[in-house]
């Protein structure tokens, strides 16, 4: 009876836990699917469905403590995965710009937000936490939207990524500060600073020990050559490091993140990342859904005025700080600075991590937590619209600021006077494509002129003698200075899709008939650029596809001429076949181009048994090719008769399709 009762008790408690897990996963799946269908980040769907099924909504999961347990579980794995995939090489490559712009953004936002909270009557420790929460932006949401829009490699995309990477690194000191602020609420700044230094020392010792222990463990597991064990230990190391870090006075999240960073630089980092990647969606879904469950809709509604104040303050403060840092300090273009500011004007996933830790530590009360969660969710919902409105707001906002700057600093410096000839080529953008084009034109003795707004390019070319003008090609005065009205062609080879479209519009207003060739990376921009007035668009995505199938077809003896004709017709058709559905067959007339008859030079193999005539080999009947000429010992024989004997080392000029040529090669190789 006792055994039966114990079994019954287990069956009562265990299904509730399993059911809660299923509810979290189902909510994440449904919410993510709905928002992805609407072309919006799935993260927003996770948050909203979590709020719907959580304690403040339908109460499908009614225990707030269990929700926080799920959230901590998701945070640990999420930070472990982020630590492993953090592009350390990218950090080293652009270290100076990343550190300066990221440091200024973080410190300025943190300081201003903390000061505002103190001014509004909040305690200092709570104000510091709120400043930290406001500082972070969402890497997951921003990179997803920029990727969809094809703007990851645009200037504002690269600037956003650099600041986001620095913010991600700041999670460690921020997490370390949470227990210190909670423990030393009334302590002096000196004692708080000393405690923080001690925490940093503990963290460094933990990272040093992890470097040796974790790498040794992974080496032993790797030698077992068991993929299953490797996967198990990958998750075991993530949770084990997190728990150990908590035991020595750090936090779960800090331990998991440090373990990920340590293993990132090891020989097993790539394999660990490969093991974790399939679980990325699950980790993000669990984390953001459980964060959404922390939102109490009924408790947040009476605080609507504070929520809107928080939302507006976050968007305005973060946008202004980023613009001032990038435009005022880093000397980036104003339009790019405005777009970057709007891109980063939201709360981030690490903000929710900090909020959860701060709530557990008692640093923020329940109403403050609800204001933060509700306002942050709204900021994420508004993010796609802010990024989409970025180009127009950048154009509109840059005009009065530029005019004001001209009044303060004096008249804007006019572009340098340049001597340009008729029928020259204006090259906008001095990257690899623009530089290569300039070199080719110069070697042929053709006139060209380069326009670029990168100060490093200007410094490099100042004394080189290259025909170069420093300036923004979206400005009419710059375009007039380089003579686009008299140009043979204008080539736009910049990575910013918004600036590219503005360039086309400005050029067309000056020179309606000039030939404009535009380089773009993604296929989605093709139609827009043609509608804006581009004469031709070179889509890297399509050209790489053409190059790919060209290399494969050459293995099957399809002639270079046939492949070239095929590719040219595809370009003339505007890449229609590549843009349409994948199940659509290739037009027969395009296939006929690939099957077209052409000439090929073929050398007879050295192991060929000579003395066999063209008639004996039945070349025409067997393979379908015609032998047009033979080069034998330096002597050319044209239209050889059927009785002509083929010898090893002969060079044969044959006429036929790619398939026929392949058959002829096989015939020569198989003659005994």
- The CATH number of residue 617's host domain is 3.30.70.1450
Residues 252 and 296 in one domain: yes
| Calpha distance 242→252 (Å, rounded) | 4
| Calpha distance 331→586 (Å, rounded) | 50
CA distances from 330 to 96, 319, 512 (A): 11, 15, 36
Residues 198 and 84 in one domain: yes
**Rounded percentage of the chain residues whose pLDDT exceeds 70:** 77
The pair of structure tokens assigned to 193 is: 């600073």
Give the distance, in angstroms, between the CA of residue 209 and the centroid of all CA atoms in the same chain: 33
Q: Which of 522, 555, 583 is the last residue of a domain?
A: 522
- Give the CATH number for residue 439: 3.40.50.720
Beta strands in 381-492 (DSSP E): 425-428, 448-452, 468-470, 489-492
Residues 86 and 175 in one domain: yes
With 0-12 CB in 10 A as exposed, 13-18 as middle and 19+ as buried, what is 627?
A: buried
- Give the CATH number for residue 110: 1.20.1530.20
Residue 384 CB partners (closer than 8 Å, separation 6+): 40, 41, 145
Strand, helix or coil for residue 27: helix
In this structure, is residue 412 part of a structural domain? no
Q: Which of 575, 594, 613 is the last residue of a domain?
A: 594
In 3D space, the residue among 375, 374, 352, 355 whose CA is nearest the CA of residue 365 turns out to be 355
In this structure, is residue 403 part of a structural domain? no
What pLDDT shows up at residue 321? 94
What pLDDT shows up at residue 215? 72
Residues 71 and 136 in one domain: yes
In 3D space, the residue among 481, 163, 130 whose CA is nearest the CA of residue 342 turns out to be 163
Residues 58 and 185 in one domain: yes
Residue 66 has pLDDT above 90, yes or no: no
Residues 379/345, Cβ–Cβ less than 8 Å: yes
Give the distance, in angstroms, between the CA of residue 568 and the centroid of all CA atoms in the same chain: 31
Residues 487 and 360 in one domain: no
pTM of the predicted structure, to 2 decimals: 0.68
Element spanning 652, H or E: strand 651-656
Residue 397 has pLDDT above 80, yes or no: no
Question: Can you tell me which residue has the tokens 């090891």?
Answer: 266
In this structure, is residue 532 part of a structural domain? no
Residues 553 and 495 in one domain: no
Residues 386 and 480 in one domain: no
In this structure, is residue 402 part of a structural domain? no
Average pLDDT across the chain, whole number: 78
| Calpha distance 478→556 (Å, rounded) | 50
Alpha carbon distance, N-terminus to C-terminus of the chain: 88
Give the distance, in angstroms, between the CA of residue 43 and the centroid of all CA atoms in the same chain: 17
| Calpha distance 282→29 (Å, rounded) | 9
In this structure, is residue 415 part of a structural domain? no
* DSSP 8-state assignment for residue 414: P
- Label each residue of 140-159 as H, E or C: HHHHHHHHHHCCCCCHHHHH
In this structure, is residue 65 part of a structural domain? yes
* DSSP 8-state assignment for residue 364: S
Residues 518 and 547 in one domain: no
Give the distance, in angstroms, between the CA of residue 483 and the centroid of all CA atoms in the same chain: 36
Residues 608 and 501 in one domain: no
- Of 118-127, 147-156, 509-518, 568-577, the one with minimum mean pLDDT is 568-577
| Calpha distance 380→386 (Å, rounded) | 10
What pLDDT shows up at residue 130? 92
- Quote the number of domains for the chain: 4
**Rounded percentage of the chain residues whose pLDDT exceeds 90:** 12
- Of 85-89, 185-189, 209-213, 320-324, the one with minimum mean pLDDT is 185-189
In this structure, is residue 582 part of a structural domain? yes
Residues 625 and 554 in one domain: no
The pair of structure tokens assigned to 414 is: 């006019």
Domain containing 621: what range?
598-670
- Of 425-429, 483-487, 554-558, 647-651, the one with minimum mean pLDDT is 554-558
What pLDDT shows up at residue 577? 59
DSSP H helices, 429-514, are 432-443, 455-461, 476-481, 497-510
Residues 515 and 581 in one domain: no
| Calpha distance 656→620 (Å, rounded) | 10
In 3D space, the residue among 617, 568, 630, 621 whose CA is nearest the CA of residue 596 turns out to be 568
Residue 69 — pLDDT band, cuts 50, 70, 90? Answer: low
Residue 158 CB partners (closer than 8 Å, separation 6+): 152
What pLDDT shows up at residue 158? 80
Q: Which of 594, 613, 632 is the last residue of a domain?
A: 594
In this structure, is residue 404 part of a structural domain? no
With 0-12 CB in 10 A as exposed, 13-18 as middle and 19+ as buried, what is 662?
A: middle
Residues 448/441, Cβ–Cβ less than 8 Å: yes
Average pLDDT of the residues in 331-347: 87
What pLDDT shows up at residue 597? 65
| Calpha distance 645→610 (Å, rounded) | 7
DSSP H helices, 609-657, are 614-617, 619-623
350-365 pLDDT, tens digit each? 888 888 888 888 888 8
The pair of structure tokens assigned to 418 is: 């340049």
Phi and psi at residue 516, in whole multiples of 5°?
-110, 120
């Amino acid at each position: 009876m006792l055994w039966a009762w114990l079994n019954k008790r287990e069956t009562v408690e265990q299904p509730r836990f399993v059911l809660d897990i299923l509810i979290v996963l189902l909510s994440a799946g449904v919410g993510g699917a709905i928002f992805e269908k609407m072309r919006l980040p799935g993260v927003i769907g996770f948050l909203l469905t979590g709020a719907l099924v959580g304690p403040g909504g339908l109460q499908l999961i009614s225990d707030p403590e269990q929700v926080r347990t799920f959230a901590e579980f998701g945070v640990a794995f999420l930070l472990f995965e982020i630590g492993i995939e953090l592009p350390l090489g990218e950090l080293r490559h652009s270290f100076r710009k990343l550190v300066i712009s990221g440091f200024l953004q973080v410190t300025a936002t943190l300081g201003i937000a903390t000061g505002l909270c103190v001014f509004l009557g909040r305690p200092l420790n709570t104000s510091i936490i709120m400043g930290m929460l406001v500082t972070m932006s969402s890497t997951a949401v921003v990179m997803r939207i920029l990727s969809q829009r094809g703007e990851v490699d645009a200037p504002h995309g690269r600037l956003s990524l650099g600041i986001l990477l620095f913010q991600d690194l700041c999670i460690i000191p921020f997490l370390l500060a949470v227990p210190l602020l909670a423990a030393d609420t009334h302590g002096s700044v000196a004692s708080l600073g000393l405690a923080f230094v001690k925490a940093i020392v503990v963290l460094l010792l933990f990272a040093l020990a992890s470097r040796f222990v974790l790498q040794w463990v992974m080496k032993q597991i790797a030698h077992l050559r068991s993929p299953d064990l490797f996967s198990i230990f990958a998750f075991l190391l993530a949770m084990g490091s997190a728990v150990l870090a908590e035991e020595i006075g750090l936090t779960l999240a800090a331990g998991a993140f440090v373990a990920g960073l340590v293993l990132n630089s090891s020989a097993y980092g790539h394999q660990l990342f490969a093991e974790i990647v399939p679980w990325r969606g699950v980790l993000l879904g669990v984390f953001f859904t459980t964060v959404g469950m922390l939102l109490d809709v009924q408790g947040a509604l009476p605080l609507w005025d504070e929520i809107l104040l928080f939302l507006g303050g976050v968007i305005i403060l973060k946008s202004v700080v980023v613009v001032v840092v990038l435009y005022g300090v880093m000397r980036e273009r104003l339009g790019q600075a405005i777009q970057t500011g709007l891109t980063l004007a939201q709360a981030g996933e690490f903000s929710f991590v900090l909020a959860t830790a701060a709530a557990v530590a008692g640093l923020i009360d329940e109403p403050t937590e609800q204001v933060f969660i509700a306002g942050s969710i709204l900021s994420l919902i508004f993010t796609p619209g802010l990024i989409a409105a970025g180009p127009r707001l950048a154009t509109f906002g840059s005009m009065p600021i530029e005019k004001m700057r001209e009044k303060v600093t004096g008249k804007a410096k006019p572009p340098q006077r340049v001597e340009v000839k008729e029928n020259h080529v204006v090259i906008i953008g001095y990257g690899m494509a623009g530089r290569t084009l300039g070199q080719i034109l110069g070697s042929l003795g053709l006139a060209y002129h380069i326009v670029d707004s990168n100060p490093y390019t200007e410094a490099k070319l100042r004394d080189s003698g290259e025909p170069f003008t420093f300036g923004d090609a979206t400005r009419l005065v710059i375009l007039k200075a380089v003579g686009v009205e008299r140009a043979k062609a204008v080539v736009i080879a910049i990575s910013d899709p918004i600036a590219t479209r503005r360039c086309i519009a400005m050029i067309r207003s000056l020179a309606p008939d000039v030939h404009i060739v535009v380089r773009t990376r993604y296929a989605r921009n093709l139609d827009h650029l043609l509608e804006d007035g581009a004469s031709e668009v070179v889509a890297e995505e399509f050209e790489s596809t053409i190059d790919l199938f060209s290399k494969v077809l050459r293995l099957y003896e399809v002639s270079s001429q046939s492949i070239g004709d095929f590719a040219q017709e595809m370009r003339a058709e505007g890449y229609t076949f590549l843009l349409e559905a994948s199940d659509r067959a290739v037009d027969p007339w395009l296939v006929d181009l690939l099957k077209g008859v052409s000439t090929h030079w073929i050398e007879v193999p050295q192991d060929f048994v000579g003395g066999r005539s063209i008639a004996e080999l039945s070349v025409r009947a067997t393979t379908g090719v015609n032998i047009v000429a033979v080069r034998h010992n330096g002597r050319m024989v044209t239209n050889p008769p059927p009785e002509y004997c083929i010898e090893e080392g002969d060079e044969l000029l044959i006429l036929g399709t790619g398939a026929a040529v392949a058959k002829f090669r096989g015939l020569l190789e198989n003659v005994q």
